[in-house]
Structure 1
Amino acid sequence: MPNLVVISTTAVPDYVRGSLSRWLTEPAPGLYVGSISARVRDALWEQVSAAVGEGAAVCVHPTDNEQRYVIKTAGERRRQVMDFDGLQLIAFRDLNPPWQENQNEQLPF
């Protein structure tokens, strides 16, 4: 049975965008929405996450858990999905850790 899938991309190669647009609708740049089977969704996400390169991608689709959806990510960005007792929450990474501010100082550890 098809389910709603949302995939958001940032700075991915053009061929990734082409693959996504074959199966999903692109209502805004880098945002893909559609109703596809779990098998197609998983195969498509495998291709996207393998080819994301310097970019990033996020996939949200329904599943049988407390939140009723799952978030998958590929690529490095400031936001990270963290699992807290079965709930997926978003944590922000510090892009400029304090020990990188002054390269001449010794590390605290």
Structure 2
Amino acid sequence: MPSMIVIAATAIPDHLRGALSRWLLEVTPELYVGSVSAKVRDELWSSVADSTAAGTAVLAHPADNEQGFTLRTAGTQRREPIDFEGLTLISFRRESQETAKPF
């Protein structure tokens, strides 16, 4: 049974944008929305996760939990989903001392 998914991806190759556009609508640049089966969702996510070397990506799809959805991420992101007693919360990573800009 198809369910709605949302994929937000940055700095992905053009061939992947084309592949995502075959299954989903690109409602704004690099934001894809559509209804697909779980198998298609997993195949699309596999392609996205394998192609986000320099970029980032987030997938939101329905799940049988309190919030009604779950998140998957790929690439290095400042925001990281964490499980807090069954709820997904977003944790922000701090910049490390090596990458922090001097005043």
What TM-score, normalized to structure 2? Answer: 0.91
Cα 1:25–1:100 change in 2 (3 A) is closer
Match of 2:24 in 1: 24
Structure 1 residue 33 and structure 2 residue 36: aligned? no
Q: Where in structure 2 are the equivalents of 1:1-109 lying within 5 Å?
A: 1-97=1-97
For residues 100 and 48 of structure 1, the distance between their equivalents in structure 2, rounded to whole angstroms, comes to: 27
The one-character-per-residue Cα deviations of 1:32-74 (angstroms, maximum 9, x if unpaired) are: 0000001100111011101111000000000101111001100
Gaps of 5+ in 1: 102-109
Matched pairs, number? 100
User: Relative to 1, partners in 2 of residues 1:14 and 1:85: Cα closer, same or farther, differing over 3 Å?
Assistant: same
Q: Residues 7-43 of structure 1: CA distance to partner in whole angstroms, max 9, x if unpaired? A: 0011111111111111000010000000000110011
TM-score by length of 1: 0.86
C-alpha separation between the residues in 2 aligned to 1:93 and 1:68?
A: 25
Q: Partner letter of residue 13 of structure 1?
A: P
Q: CA RMSD in A?
A: 1.4
Q: After the TM superposition, which segments of 4 or more aligned residues of structure 1 sit over 6 Å from their partners?
A: none
- What one-letter code is carried by the residue in structure 1 that aligns with 2:83? D
Once the two structures are aligned, what percentage of the paired residues are identical?
Answer: 52
Deviation at 1:100, TM superposition (A): 6.6
